[in-house]
């Protein structure tokens, strides 16, 4: 740990740790809602389903800067949501929590898409069978659907985490790039490239980025394979 810390400058190390914290929180916080929305879109018919679907996908198709600006308007200290939350002590603007929010919003559609596909692959007849055996809807979900969508869920988490790690446009627009507060890996790399002589620092951070991404990918492959073996009845 200390060797790495020595290899990376304090500011670079800060950016790496901040990015990990922001991405992990963003992914974990978005996951329950993503599972719920994915399940609802896959299984339920309800009025306004198309609108919900479009809203979920919006961050994927909007320019990130636009998403970041919208977040700033909504969740800034003077925004309608941000102002209200400030009353109870929750502040997003120019804090790491804001970076996590931006990352979560950007990662959300990717997570929903991956999880929705795996929910659609689960035969609803199995859920029916569970219901006749006495399982309530919630128990059906916990004992049948959830274990069977686990591979898709892991894929969604990795995609979401990768997106959160790489998020730049919305984050920098919403919470700027304050070292130690909101300067994540991508914004740090960008900042280093703006200063003369910062290329080596940028290169080190790039290598760290690649290492984190590959580790996450390998880990997810491993987990997904084990989960798929179980779900496939082998």
Partner 1 sequence: MLTVSLQHALPGFGLDVQFEAPPGVTVLFGRSGTGKTTVIQVVAGLLRPDQGRVALEGEVLCDTSRGQWLPPHKRRMGYVFQEGRLFPHLTVRQNLAFGQWFAPRAAKRESLERVVELLGIGPLLHRRPGHLSGGEKQRVAIGRALLSAPRMILADEPLSALDEARKAEILPYFERLRDEIGIPMLYVSHSAAEVARLATTVVVLQDGRVQRQGTAAEVLGDPAVMPAGVRAAGALLQARVARHHSDGLTELDAGGVPLFLPQIAKAPGSVVRVRISAHEVILSRHRPEGLSALNILPGTVEHLRTGGGPGAMVSLTTPAGRVLARVTRRSAQALGLETGAECFAIVKTVSIAPEDIGGG
Site string for partner 1, 78-117 (x = CB under 8 A): ----------------------------------------
Q: Read out DSSP for 204-221?
A: HHHHHHHHHHHHHHHHHH
Does position 45 interact with partner 1 (CB under 8 A)? The reply is no
Binding mask 144-183 for partner 1 (x = CB under 8 A): x--xx-----------------------------------
**For residues 145 and 182, which CB has a smaller minimum distance to partner 1 in the complex?**
145
Per-residue DSSP letters for 24-43? Answer: HHHHHHHHHHHHHHHHHHHH
What span, in angstroms and rounded, lies between the C-alpha atoms of 23 and 99?
A: 9
Q: Which residue in the set 47, 48, 89, 134 belongs to the binding site for partner 1 (CB under 8 A)?
A: 134
- In sequence order, which residues have a C-beta less than 8 Å from that of residue 131 and are 6 or more positions away? 137, 140
Q: Phi-psi region for residue 176, left (φ > 0), alpha (ψ -120 to 50) or beta? A: left
Among candidate residues 120, 124, 131, the one with its CA nearest the CA of residue 39: 120
Taking the least distance from each CB to partner 1, the nearer of 59 and 151 is 151
209 forms part of the interface with partner 1 (CB under 8 A): no
Residue 176, phi then psi, degrees to nearest 5: 65, -160
User: Which of 133, 195, 203, 207 contacts partner 1 by CB under 8 A?
Assistant: 133
Q: Minimal distance in Å, beta carbon 51 to partner 1? A: 27
Contact region for partner 1 (CB under 8 A) — 23-31, 40-48, 112-120, 135-143?
135-143
Say whether residue 230 binds partner 1 (CB under 8 A).
yes
Residue partners of 23: CB distance under 8 A and separation at least 6: 100, 103, 161, 164, 165
In whole angstroms, how close is the CB of 232 to partner 1 at the nearest point? 6
Structure tokens that stand for 109 in this block: 């559609």
CB nearer to partner 1: give 72 or 155.
155
Contact set with partner 1 (CB under 8 A): 123, 125-126, 128-137, 139-140, 143-144, 147-148, 230-234
């Amino acid at each position: 740990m200390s060797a790495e810390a020595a290899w990376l400058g304090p500011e670079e190390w800060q950016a790496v740790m901040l990015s990990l914290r922001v991405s992990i929180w963003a992914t974990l916080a978005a996951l329950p809602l993503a599972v719920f929305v994915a399940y609802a879109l896959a299984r339920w018919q309800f009025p306004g389903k198309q609108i919900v679907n479009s809203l979920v996908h919006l961050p994927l198709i909007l320019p990130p800067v636009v998403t970041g600006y919208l977040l700033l308007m909504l969740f800034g200290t003077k925004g309608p949501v941000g102002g209200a939350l400030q009353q109870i002590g929750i502040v997003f603007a120019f804090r790491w929590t804001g970076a996590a929010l931006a990352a979560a919003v950007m990662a959300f559609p990717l997570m929903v898409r991956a999880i929705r596909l795996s929910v659609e692959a689960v035969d609803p007849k199995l859920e029916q069978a569970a219901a006749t055996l006495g399982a309530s809807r919630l128990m059906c979900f916990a004992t049948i659907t959830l274990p069977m969508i686990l591979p898709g869920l892991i894929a969604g988490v990795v995609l979401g985490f990768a997106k959160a790690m790489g998020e730049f446009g919305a984050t920098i627009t919403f919470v700027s790039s304050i070292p130690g507060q909101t300067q994540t890996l991508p914004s740090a790399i960008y900042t280093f490239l703006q200063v003369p002589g910062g290329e080596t620092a940028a290169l080190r951070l790039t290598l760290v980025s690649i290492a984190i991404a590959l580790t996450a990918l390998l880990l997810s492959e491993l987990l997904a394979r084990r989960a798929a073996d179980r779900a496939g009845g082998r």
